[in-house]
């Protein structure tokens, strides 16, 4: 998109990294917050949010970035990609691209349709059901944390899921030493970031940056977490160790990810491999489970001669086009099949919603 703007009488283009750099860091004298891997001053979202505290231009650029992303990637593009015969967009799923065993989606990618902002959700609303049908979305609840509980065998984490407690709330109670029903919304928010961070092998440095706190404070949260969930600590240590010994890690169902850099003398590379080793069993087992679900659900649809169609997969979510007459059947059958697809040490939970479009189905 060519959008000409003007600053001090000179035209410039908001889409040009070179021009942004020249304007921000040379002409206006804004501080360089961080650099990209190649050494250029970064202008990513995190940097711009910080610069916006002291200067007016970065906020405008952020607005332009988000809107042009939506327009250029989705609004302008999806309509062009509709098949003239079916009037629909038909994605391609790749089964052997993602190293963890996930599917990937391309041309168009339907696994990154916006949902996190109100403007973005308007794109999602364009995915509509035909007359007489509704869209159903069935997704696994906290699937990766449940898998972490299963693999690690950690008693407290297993108990939280078995008793059906909100897992972020449970974590907050443990880490902050508060009764479960006294957890504040900020404590829960912190616990949620900690839980997600653990799945990705995040360090105290990363946690600190994410929460906007001191690295030492973040380190003490992590220490408290591991004190309360010693099984998770053991999982992290043993997974790293066995990855170094064997050169690979495995999902619960035995699919392997080889990690050739796990013993590299190069620190950053080795660190990357260690984080992948922590994450892959969880992300990969989740991928195994939803693949089993896809097969199991389709098998029942076929056997029973149902008219419901499975139309998309988004990692922990299956999307269906459902004739109105089959809604009540789908509402009970699909989450049950998804929950019963494997017998782990924790119950699996799948939730389902219905609506006239993909957004409203959530």
Site for DNA in 19-38 (CB under 7 A): 19, 36-38
In a 3-state reduction of DSSP, which class is residue 225?
Answer: helix
Dihedral of CA 301/306/308/311: which sign? positive
**Among 247, 271, 353, 355, which residue interacts with DNA (rule: CB under 7 A)?**
271
Q: How many CA atoms lie within 13 A of 171 on its CB side?
A: 29
- Provide, rounded to whole angstroms, the least separation between the CB of residue 173 and DNA: 22
308 and 323 Cβ atoms separated by less than 8 Å: yes
**DSSP letter assigned to residue 200:** T
Q: Binding to DNA by residue 264, rule CB under 7 A? A: no
Q: Binding to DNA by residue 100, rule CB under 7 A? A: yes
- Provide, rounded to whole angstroms, the least separation between the CB of residue 124 and DNA: 8
Q: What is 35-55 written as a DSSP string? A: B-TTSPBP-SHHHHHHHTTT-
- Provide, rounded to whole angstroms, the least separation between the CB of residue 171 and DNA: 15
Q: Binding to DNA by residue 55, rule CB under 7 A? A: no
Q: Binding to DNA by residue 62, rule CB under 7 A? A: yes
Q: Binding to DNA by residue 251, rule CB under 7 A? A: no
Q: Binding to DNA by residue 205, rule CB under 7 A? A: yes
What's the CA gap between 359 and 129, in Å, rounded?
11
Dihedral of CA 59/61/64/69: which sign? negative
On the question of a cis peptide bond just before residue 108, with omega within 30 degrees of 0, the verdict is yes
Q: Binding to DNA by residue 207, rule CB under 7 A? A: yes
Q: Binding to DNA by residue 314, rule CB under 7 A? A: yes
Tokens of 174: 């443990």
Residues in CB range of 356: below 8 A, 6 or more apart:
128, 129, 134, 135
Q: Binding to DNA by residue 242, rule CB under 7 A? A: no
Q: Which stretch binds DNA (CB under 7 A): 44-52, 230-238, 301-309, 340-348?
A: 44-52
Site for DNA in 274-303 (CB under 7 A): 275-276, 279-280, 283
Comparing CB distances to DNA, the nearer of 43 and 285 is 43
- Provide, rounded to whole angstroms, the least separation between the CB of residue 103 and DNA: 9
Q: Binding to DNA by residue 104, rule CB under 7 A? A: yes
- As beta bridge partners, residue 320 has 136, 310
Gyration radius (Cα) of the chain, Å: 23
Q: Binding to DNA by residue 272, rule CB under 7 A? A: yes
**Among 10, 26, 95, 106, which residue interacts with DNA (rule: CB under 7 A)?**
106
Site for DNA in 114-143 (CB under 7 A): 114-117, 120
Site for DNA in 172-201 (CB under 7 A): 193, 196-197, 199-201
170 and 188 Cβ atoms separated by less than 8 Å: no
Please count the other Cβ atoms lying within 10 Å of the Cβ belonging to residue 224.
15
Q: Binding to DNA by residue 345, rule CB under 7 A? A: no
Please count the other Cβ atoms lying within 10 Å of the Cβ belonging to residue 323.
17
Q: Binding to DNA by residue 111, rule CB under 7 A? A: yes
Q: Binding to DNA by residue 59, rule CB under 7 A? A: no
């Amino acid at each position: 998109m060519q959008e000409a703007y003007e600053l001090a009488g000179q035209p410039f283009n908001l889409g040009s990294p070179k021009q942004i750099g020249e304007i921000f860091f040379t002409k206006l004298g804004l501080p360089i917050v961080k650099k990209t891997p190649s050494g250029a001053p970064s202008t990513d979202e995190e940097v711009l949010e910080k610069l916006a505290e002291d200067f007016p231009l970065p906020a405008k650029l952020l607005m332009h970035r988000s809107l042009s992303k939506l327009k250029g990637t989705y609004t302008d593009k999806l309509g062009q990609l509709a098949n003239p015969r079916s009037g629909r967009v038909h994605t391609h799923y790749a089964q052997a691209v993602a190293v963890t065993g996930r599917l990937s989606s391309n041309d168009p990618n339907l696994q990154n349709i916006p949902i996190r902002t109100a403007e973005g959700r308007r794109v999602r609303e364009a995915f509509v059901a035909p007359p007489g049908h509704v869209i159903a979305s069935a997704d696994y609840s906290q699937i990766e944390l449940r898998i972490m509980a299963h693999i690690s065998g950690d008693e407290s984490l297993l108990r939280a899921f078995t008793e059906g407690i909100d897992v972020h709330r449970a974590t907050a109670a443990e880490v902050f030493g508060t009764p479960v029903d006294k957890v504040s919304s900020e404590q829960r928010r912190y616990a949620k970031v900690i839980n997600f961070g653990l799945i990705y092998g995040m360090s105290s440095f990363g946690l600190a940056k994410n929460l906007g706190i001191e690295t030492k404070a973040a380190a003490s949260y992590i220490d408290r977490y591991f004190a309360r969930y010693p099984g998770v600590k053991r999982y992290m240590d043993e997974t790293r160790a066995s990855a170094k010994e064997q050169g690979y890690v495995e999902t619960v169902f035995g699919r392997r990810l080889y990690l050739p850099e796990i013993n590299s003398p190069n620190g950053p590379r080795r660190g990357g491999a260690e984080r992948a080793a922590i994450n892959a069993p969880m992300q990969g087992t989740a991928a195994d489970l939803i693949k089993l679900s896809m097969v199991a659900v389709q098998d029942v649809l076929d056997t029973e001669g149902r008219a419901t169609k499975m139309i998309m997969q988004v990692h922990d979510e299956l999307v269906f086009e459902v004739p109105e007459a089959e809604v009540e059947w789908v509402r009970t059958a699909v989450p049950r099949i998804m929950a019963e697809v494997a017998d782990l040490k924790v119950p699996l939970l799948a939730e389902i919603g219905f609506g006239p479009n993909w957004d409203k189905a959530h």
